[in-house]
Amino acid sequence: MELENLKQLLKNREPQRVHFVAQAELSEKYYNNENDITIRNGGVSKVNTDGADKSKGPLRKADTRISSNFHQILVDQKADYLTGTPPTIDVGDDAANEKVRQVLGDDFAATLQELCVDASNAGVGWLHVWFDEDEKRMRYAVIPPEQIIPLYAGDTDRSLLGVCRRYAQIDKSTGKQFTCIEYWDEKTVTAYRTDRTNYEDLHELKKYALFDVATGEDTGTPTATLEHGIGEVPFIPFRNGKREKPDLFKYKGYIDVYDEVYSGFANDLEDVQQVILVLTNYGGQELHDFMDQLQQDKAVKLDAVGPDDKSGLSTLTIDIPTEARQKLLDLTFDNIFVYGEGVNPKQLSTGTSMSGVAIKLLYGQLELKASTTEVWFRQGIARLVRIIMRQQNISGADTRNIDQTWTRSLISNNTEQADVVAKLAEYSSQETIAKNNPLVGDDWQGELEQLQKDKDDAMESQAKHPDPFANQALRRASATMKV
């Protein structure tokens, strides 16, 4: 893209970028338990027994501000439920599957979970893919959504034409911070530098090492433009849904109400300990004389001036509507999980064993939310796998069907599941039994191998030592294979 065209693009997208970043940063604050109620404390929940605004009256002194971390609970529920077990990917043959698994590596599950958290907070998560010249392998990493400015083909055609990545860097020669902007298209990346928000001084930044194509070695000459060799724009969006909206704004109001009521309740409990004495026609001259007299004699001297005199001692205290506040807190707590489409932890602590059907009903709302995200995450994973297939020279990279098997991280009733497996063992294959055995977990292939090994050992023992004990061992092994 020409420099002047890039400047105009950045200027046109600046209002949209600022709005997107503001929403993402607000979601990130709530995820880090820095809710709006803690703004006065710099984002920190704090107990303050003497900090209230004086305009609230002489009885109001406490200004405790407590932030409740509902947003992080709801986001982590979704991320763990959806990506706690990474999807199994099948591209059609075992050799190709193994190559894909090797490139994805051990970080695939953690990367998916990070993308899910980013998508929940910002509306979309971004994965960057590149070829590491030093290690001679393809790598990928999650990029903060606030750094990405995507350029799509149109409102209906969401094909990615290019990506601007905008982030801060430090100039080593001056120690000052500047803004680095990278523009990526399907073939190259070009780096630029600017020190202004209006992009008027945008100019090329030679930051990439230039490699000799023949030898693959660094020529020592830096360049601003580099061919990335991925074959398409090497950024993959993982959307939170069609409209790419953060989760927080579905229930932010309820969280703010809960924080306000809870903190106000705590302040009232602190302030109710402060009792103000009201004296009418006190016989002394100094208040400290009154306090001394009250402590020593347990009595107060008052001067009466007539039969209609209203001399006396009264108190000012705070009445706390405890029942109403508790009711509001309970309703708000439940609504947060209703509108946040999460699992209410109150319903998990019933103290009784829940059936499998009851557990699935409890996870119903979370399943709906996770299923919506899964639809759009499937697109991102398919793009990632096709890029890997091209880099690994696997045939049919753009045409093969990519099967994805997603497994939910769901609490289960193991006793009930084991009972079902036992009842159906006579009518089920060994593979089906192993897959559904609650004690086996995901390694059902290993379970089948171990069962076969036990059977082989028992038969070998019978051949060497033909006695009743060996026959019993063989029968036990055969029964195990069946059940």
Give mean pLDDT, residues 250-267: 94
State the Cα–Cα distance between residues 76 and 113, nearest whole angstrom.
9
CA 247 from chain center: how many Å? 10
Q: What is the pLDDT of residues 84-129, one digit of tens each?
A: 989 999 998 889 999 999 999 999 999 999 999 999 999 999 999 9
Confidence of residue 133 (pLDDT cuts 50, 70, 90): confident
CB-based contacts of 306, cutoff 8 Å, min separation 6: none
Q: What is the pLDDT of residues 151-183, one digit of tens each?
A: 998 777 788 999 999 999 999 888 899 999 999
Give mean pLDDT, residues 318-330: 85
pLDDT of residue 482: 47
Confidence of residue 362 (pLDDT cuts 50, 70, 90): confident
Give mean pLDDT, residues 124-147: 93
Query: Residue type at 418?
Result: A
Q: What is the pLDDT of residues 397-433, one digit of tens each?
A: 999 999 999 988 776 545 555 666 676 777 678 777 7
Give mean pLDDT, residues 231-249: 95
Confidence of residue 483 (pLDDT cuts 50, 70, 90): very low
Q: Which of 250, 267, 246 is nearest to 37 (CA)?
A: 267
Q: Which of 295, 257, 302, 260 is nearest to 278 (CA)?
A: 302
Confidence of residue 234 (pLDDT cuts 50, 70, 90): very high
3-state secondary structure of 477: helix
Give mean pLDDT, residues 445-467: 77
Give mean pLDDT, residues 48-63: 69
pLDDT of residue 395: 92
In the sheet with 235-239, reading across from the earlier edge strand, the strands are 137-143, 124-132, 235-239
pLDDT of residue 466: 67
Query: Which pair of structure tokens corresponds to residue 445?
Result: 């292939």
pLDDT of residue 312: 64
Which residue ranges make up each domain of the chain? 3-33+68-248, 278-316, 414-483
Q: How far is CA 188 from CA 39, 70, 183, 232, 233, in A?
A: 43, 43, 8, 9, 9
